[in-house]
Structure formats: C-alpha cells, structure tokens
Structure 1
C-alpha cells in the first residue's frame, strides 16, 4: 500500500507540473515521473494517460481491480478509473459510444459486433481475462427432481460432471403439466448462453433457434432461455420467474449461501479451460492510442499473473469484496476463488482451476477461442446464413489482436516481470480438443465440420466457396 501511495504522490505531482508547464517541462516531468514510479517498468510514450474502464460485478473482472489496486496501471503511467456498469448492453454501448475507453466484456460481444449480430462496431481485444468461472444452478425444487436421475458415488454424493440428461425427465414433466421450463442466461452472445445451450443440447434437449423474427432464440425450444443481469440471477430464481440459470461467480455460490438453489455443473466440465471474458476497446481507440493499448495490456497481464499465485487469492478476495468492485461477502467469493466450489450445501469440492487468470496461457487472445463463439452463433442461428470456412478465420483476426498482446508481453519479459517461457509459440490456434462434456472434437481450422457434427442446430455445406 505504501508503494502505491508513493507512486500516486509522484504521479499526481507529475500531472500538476505537466498541466502548468510547457512542452519541455512536460517531457522532463514525464521522464522524472517514470524514474520515480519504478526502475523496472519501462514506460511507453502514453497518448492518453487518463482512462475510464467498465465492468460488471463478477469475479472475473478481477484483473482490472488488481491492476488498479496493486499499482500496475500506475507503473505504466496510466491513471485509471474503474466503474461498475448495470448490464452487458450498457457496457457495449458505452464502449462503442466512447463513454468508456475499454471494458471487461463477454467474449461474444466484440465478435458479434464484428460478425453482424446486434449492434455493429469495430471492436478489438488484446487480452483474455480468464478461463472457466461459470456455473449452472437450478432451484431447490428442480434439484430435488433431478437428483434421483444422477449417478452417485460410494460416498453417496452425486458423481460429477452432471449432464443435462438428469434434467430431461423434469422438463418433460413440466411440459406434460402445461408449464414451460424457463432458465436464465446473461446476454444473447454471452458464454453463458452458448454453454447452457451446449449442455442442454448434449442431452438432446433443444434450447431454441434464433431467427430474424425471433431474436429471443426460442424457436423449437424445449427450454425457454431469457436474459437476466448477473447480480439479479439469485433473486429471479428465488421469485420463481426462472427455474435455473447459467452465470459467473459469485452468483452461483450466492444461491448456495442463500439456500435457494444448487449448482449442478460448471463450465469447466462443459468445456475444460474454456475462454470466458475479454478486455475490449474500439479499433479507433487502439489505432489512435497504440502505446496506451500496449501499456493497458501489460498491466492486465501482470494482474493475471499476480492473481494466479495461490498465496494472493485471499487478498484478491478482500479486494473484490469491496463495494466498488464485486461487493459480495468475502466468504461467498472465497468459495470459488480459493480452489474449491460448493454444489449442494456442504458438498464442497476441490476445483483448483475454477478461476484461471494466467496459467495455460489464459491471457492470450487465441483465434481458435474466438472462432468457437462464431461457430455457436452460426449453430443457433444468430448468424443466419452459411459462411465459408475461411470467413471464420478472417473475421476473428480483425477482432482478436494477439499482436498487441505479444508487444506487451515482450516488454514484460525485457523488464523481468514474466519469463520468456510464458509467451506461447503459436499461430493463434490451439490444437484440436475433445475436452467437452459430450466428447465432441473441436478443431478451429474446420469450423464447418464442427458445426455439422451436432445433431441439434444449423448445418452448413462444407464445399461452399
């Protein structure tokens, strides 16, 4: 804390002197501020030092909170305000309109904006904020009906992962009694929407299709999915408006603590080490402020690395519990942030990779991660027409910017902040993987083959040119 206060003092003085002095004074003051802040960080020529970033109250906004609270932004000569936003649409609109310089965002949002679904804009991400971190929770009543369908281990506890096959008879009962089965997710292009759809469809449960006339995505749906902002999920479940939801933490664990629901699976089980949130800026901002974009990325990479040091997680929980960040009780945040996850009350299990912020190259914006979201948009009809295989790669390369990440990481290596071995040798594509709950293989270099491998959803002509 003392070091942060010291940095703040020097930087405040520097800003005051810059405001009062001429061009030479500004240059000399900036250099002095650099030396005063840190001898390790090599500050760039920052085009826009004062920045405002947005976030939604979720655990995975942590890199922003840590970069600010631990002084990583200040080390780069950045003066950052971090502001909570009401919902994901507001986040998207405020970044596009320039009210926010950047934001914690759903991975699908910049992709959809560039691919033609929803509001159009040129957005880019140089930084992936985390892996995993979501869960699917159902009400106590639904769980009581699911539980008899779930295999049990020798200890009498449910065997995980729990597939949606256990939910299927419950949905049938609702249908036979004339009641639609309703579940919540956080946004049409959210990871949560695609994860809950994947989980349901893997059990033969149709989650619905999007069309030009049905933007709710409920055509042929056996489960009606609707949007609820993350912090409102537990209350919406408790009111009976929905019977389950897919959301990030701490809102699954909140249901456990309140005694209103039971998490039945996590997205780690749906897709092991799946990409979750990204940090997004407009293309114009990055083009106009290239050094600022690199500096922001440097600070966020350092924050991710700090977060994945196990000894730092308790402090991270304290920071995230602050009202200006997630604002949830420490014990709720700690339930998933410190290597465990609680399903039924008392059924707390080891999940060391539930929240990953740095290891497994978590911060690198892989093209293959982005292409997966494009395949799901096409699978469920958000992209209404067939695309060529080449289109997927071309589209994502305008949005995911590993070139910015690489410049930032190279500087961190030169400064001794991260080892060179933490920079992946990659063309931007991860190897094909079958680490999904249904065992289906995903190869980002064959997006059409992947789309066609599913029994539920759109099918495309693989030979289209």
Structure 2
C-alpha cells in the first residue's frame, strides 16, 4: 500500500482518498452486494436513500464530488420521509442501499418487523445524538440543576427533570417525548437517561401483543421523524426529544429548545 504521507501526496489527495472510501462503503445495502469475490458490478445505476441528518454526509460528499462515478457507479440519492419508509425501500428493492440506523439491519435479521437479510459494511457516525427539551421545560429543570460560576454543571441528569414529570402527573397530564424509531439508539439512550433519573420510560411487552413501549410509563415516548422534531416540539405535541444533528441545534437556532 502506498504511503499517503509522502511528499508526493498532498493533504487534498489524502482527503480525497478518505472521502472516496467513506462514500463507497458507507451504505447499508441489500444482500445483493454480499459477494464472496469482487467482480464486475451487477448494477452500475443505483439509488441510495437517506434521512436528512449530518451523518449522511459521506454519501453527499461522494455524490457531489463524483466519487461514485470514479468507481464506475451512477448513483442518485433520495431523501426519505422516515426510517420505516427507508427500511422498506431497501427490503423491497426500491432502494439499492441507504444510510440507516444501526439497529435496523439487526432488527430485520431477527424478524422484528419485516424479516430480511441486510448487509452493513460501514458505520457512519459515533456518539452523534443529543437530548433537547423545550424552553418551558428547561426553565423548570434549571431550578434543580447544580450551578458553578453561573453555569449548569454537566452532565445534566434526568434527576432534574423528575420534579417536572411528577408535576405533570399530579395535574393529570402526560409527559411526552420523541425518539426516531423503536430500534434506534436514540430510543435506548433516552430510556436509559430517563430511568437513571428515576423516571419510568415504560415497558415493551410483545408477548402480550403490546409493542408501544409505554406500559407503566411516566414519560411517554413516541416516534417522530428527525426533520419533524423541532416543529413537533414547537407545537407542544412533545416536550423533548432525542435525535441526531442538526435537529438539536435547529431547536437552538429557532429559539424553541435547549440541548441537555
């Protein structure tokens, strides 16, 4: 393998090689691409799906800079409405591959939802999720958060949210939060964060035919597509959410929420 750090290879060249590698393999594709030996591509005209999130950037970079064409592939990319539509598109062949939640290929393999064999060649992000609450909820939480030098002490625990959720319960109002998909890390992370603060996120009971995940819940979690998180928060339908970027910072930009 060539040494890309030698004088003959500029920083731009290194970036191009890295970007080409990411764009070429950062796809969750159907089993069609799981070949024991590499040969001529079975298809050279491909359609890839994505959700509007910053972690789909490798696909966009490869598309805009012509890296797919460099590999003899003619690719179109298409935004999808939500994660279920995207997954179904890959399974039924409408999409040749997609930027996908880590849990979706695993869930499909074990038959959660539609059973299908999906190949996952590359993980596209790491620790990119955040939890955001509305301004009104943040105003109540701040009273319960330790401060140092006039600033909240991080990490901010769900303990600070517990009195707010209890107040909602006393008033007979459900405390609702959004996450992006049942098998998403966002769902797991939000549930863990809430439970660590003594807020029950609810049980799943598929053996009883209940897959809502809201049994005994003190905070009701429901699915909201990532691009719709800020508007759903602003409308008051939910009081907080867990999502990837840019939708946490979008709440800050619009002045409607605070990432915790």
Normalised by the size of structure 1, how large is the TM-score? 0.47
Check whether the contact 1:44–1:76 (CA below 8 A) recurs between aligned residues: no
The structure in which a higher percent of residues are strand is 2
Structure 2 residue 209 is the aligned partner of structure 1 residue 223: no
1:244 equivalenced with 2:240 (yes/no): yes
CA distance in 2, matches of 1:262, 1:44: 50
| Residues 127-146 of structure 1 aligned to structure 2 (within 5 Å) | 127-146=122-141
* Deviations, residues 315-347 of structure 1 (Å, cap 9, x unaligned): xxxxxxxxxxxxxxxxxxxxxxxxxxxxxxxxx
Matches within 5 A, 1:398-409: none
Q: 2:249 aligns with which of 253, 262, 265?
A: 253
**Match of residue 263 from structure 1:** 259
1:89 paired with 2:84, answer: yes
Deviant stretches of 4+, over 3 Å: none
Cα deviation per residue 1:193-230 (whole Å; 9 max; x = unaligned)?
A: 11101111122221111113321110111100011111
> Residue 106 of structure 1 aligns to a residue in which SS?
coil
Q: Give RMSD over aligned pairs.
A: 1.3
Q: How much has 1:118 moved relative to structure 2?
A: 1.7
Cα drift, residue 102 of structure 1? 0.4
Deviations 1:235-291 (A, max 9, x none): 111111110011111111111111111111xxxxxxxxxxxxxxxxxxxxxxxxxxx
Q: Cα offset for 1:44? A: 5.6
Report the structure number with the largest CA radius of gyration. Answer: 1
- 1:148 partnered with 2:152: no
Q: Are the equivalent residues in 2 in contact too, given 1:184–1:244 (CA < 8 A)?
A: yes
State the Cα distance separating 1:70 from its structure 2 match.
2.0
1:64 corresponds in structure 2 to: 59
Alignment of 1:306-325 (within 5 A): none
- The within-5 A match list for 1:337-416 is none
Q: Which residue of 1 aligns with 2:180?
A: 186
Q: Give 3-state SS (helix, strand or coil) of 1:184's partner.
A: strand
Separation of aligned partners in 2, 1:113 and 1:220: 27
Q: Which consecutive unaligned segments of at least 5 residues does structure 2 have?
A: 1-37
User: Partners in 1 of 2:176 and 2:61 — Cα distance?
Assistant: 36
Deviation at 1:184, TM superposition (A): 0.5
Match of 1:176 among 170, 181, 190: 170
Match of 2:40 in 1: 45
Which whole-Å CA distance do the structure 2 matches of 1:228 and 1:127 have between them?
25
Shift in CA distance, 71/44, structure 1 to aligned 2, threshold 3 Å: farther
Residues 274-289 of structure 1 mapped to structure 2, 5 A cutoff: none
How many corresponding residue pairs?
221
SS at match of 1:83: strand
Q: 1:199 aligns with which of 171, 179, 193?
A: 193
Deviations 1:279-323 (A, max 9, x none): xxxxxxxxxxxxxxxxxxxxxxxxxxxxxxxxxxxxxxxxxxxxx
After superposition, the C-alpha distances for 1:373-432 in whole angstroms (9 at most, x for unaligned) are xxxxxxxxxxxxxxxxxxxxxxxxxxxxxxxxxxxxxxxxxxxxxxxxxxxxxxxxxxxx
Cα distance in 1 for partners of 2:78, 2:236 equals 31
Q: SS at 1:127's partner residue? A: coil
Question: Any gaps of 5 or more consecutive residues in structure 1?
Answer: 1-42, 265-465
Once the two structures are TM-superposed, the CA of residue 187 in structure 1 deviates from its matched residue by 0.8
CA distance in 2, matches of 1:95, 1:165: 40
